[in-house]
Chain A
């Protein structure tokens, strides 16, 4: 088979590195861009470069922010309650919780999750700075909002062990039966946890 021109191959290879994109989708995307007016490619290229050069991690909570700022918008906002700290896996989780409008405290982004099988241990996450933040003494409750997965559970367990001696309240997002779900399809895990986390009516 005759090969594609090298620049097109390079773009396809670049797309294939993205999560959830296989060779077919990568080719489709590359050909799509090829057919578009020049400014589409231009804008995409600029956005790709800017996302790396013009963003930074907030030095306090490790959320993503505009480069050159001292801290992120949430950390800089005096109206946000600093006694409540919500610990999440990544910046996307901050976005999701912010959209609910139901949380007025602050965040700490771990930038990942313990993954024993992949060998991602505590020292690869932003756990040390979290402990230091809590040690400063203004945090009264740490809400652990890691995913309800094996990795999220392991992370929550580890955080609990690390934070317990500091005397703060440690909570985890309630896990129960999904809305619209049906008891008979619930797995053992979810059902047991829903029972353990039952509430007064």
Chain B
């Protein structure tokens, strides 16, 4: 059997880090070549470290990794995009944190997924540059579900198979999509979803971002869309997410200053 490669040169996004030993950090990276990997950045907490600034969460980097005994070890790091406008804005930070948390939870170690990597990088640059990143984040939610195998069915009733009519509908987490009002009584866990919100979800699901970003849902529809998707994520992951609470707190903060 050939020996596995000892080094890996790849683009990556830093998902999170934790302190390790006296001055080191363990990073969780999402790499283009090998999906999620853990890597040790030696001395990253020392102020002098040349690597530290390149290895903060949300940073898009190019790294050279060498296979150590227990971990990959970061031997070189170079920032491709630090997304400084995310880091200088709390709301953008909160959106980016949500995006990162979802990616982290929906992937396991060493599952290569270059399309997901590209989606992540695109989404971070959208969060960094768009005036209101809301749609970009909802678009990410739907693409993430596609790329991890949980694409919700939004066009046909999952019970009778009939095409969805222009009327308020139901959505069931367990079934993974819409249930028409006729079938809803047989699915007690189905929750109602307004026709408009469903339209936006369908629009995001089937459009490229350039088209999708023109969506302009009303505040109540934004709310419904977000709550529905968050509920679906919680159902799929079988645990609550950390970041929506933080995001909502920041939003409340902004609203109270207006």
Contact = CB atoms under 8 A, between A and B. Distances in A.
B210 interface: no
A103 interface: no
A188 B82 contact: yes
A161 interface: yes
A118 B58 contact: no
Contacts, number: 88
Contact of A189 (B19, B53, B97): B53
Interface stretch (A30-38, A130-138, A147-155): A147-155
A117 B79 contact: no
A181 B53 CA distance: 12
Interface stretch (A41-49, A104-112, A119-127): A119-127
A117 B245 CA distance: 10
A86 to B, nearest CB: 18
A107 to B, nearest CB: 20
A187 B41 CA distance: 15
Contacts of A123: 249
Given A123-B249, A150-B87, A117 B48 contact: no
B100 A117 contact: yes
B229 to A, nearest CB: 18
Interface residues of B, number: 42
Contacts of B126: none
A20 B20 contact: yes
A116 to B, nearest CB: 3
Given A20-B21, A161-B253, A189-B82, A117 B16 contact: yes
Given A20-B19, A116-B97, A158 B90 contact: yes
B53 A121 contact: no
6 contacts: A117-B16, A153-B88, A157-B89, A188-B84, A189-B56, A190-B53
Given A158-B253, A180-B48, A190-B53, 19 more contacts: A20-B19, A20-B20, A114-B246, A117-B15, A119-B245, A121-B245, A123-B249, A149-B56, A150-B56, A150-B57, A154-B87, A181-B48, A182-B50, A185-B50, A187-B53, A188-B79, A189-B53, A189-B56, A189-B84
The 9 A-B pairs with the shortest beta carbon distances in the complex, nearest first, are A119-B242, A116-B97, A187-B53, A185-B50, A20-B21, A189-B82, A190-B53, A187-B54, A116-B246
Interface of B: 15-16, 19-22, 24, 47-50, 52-54, 56-59, 79, 81-82, 84, 87-90, 93-94, 96-97, 100-101, 104, 241-243, 245-247, 249, 253, 257
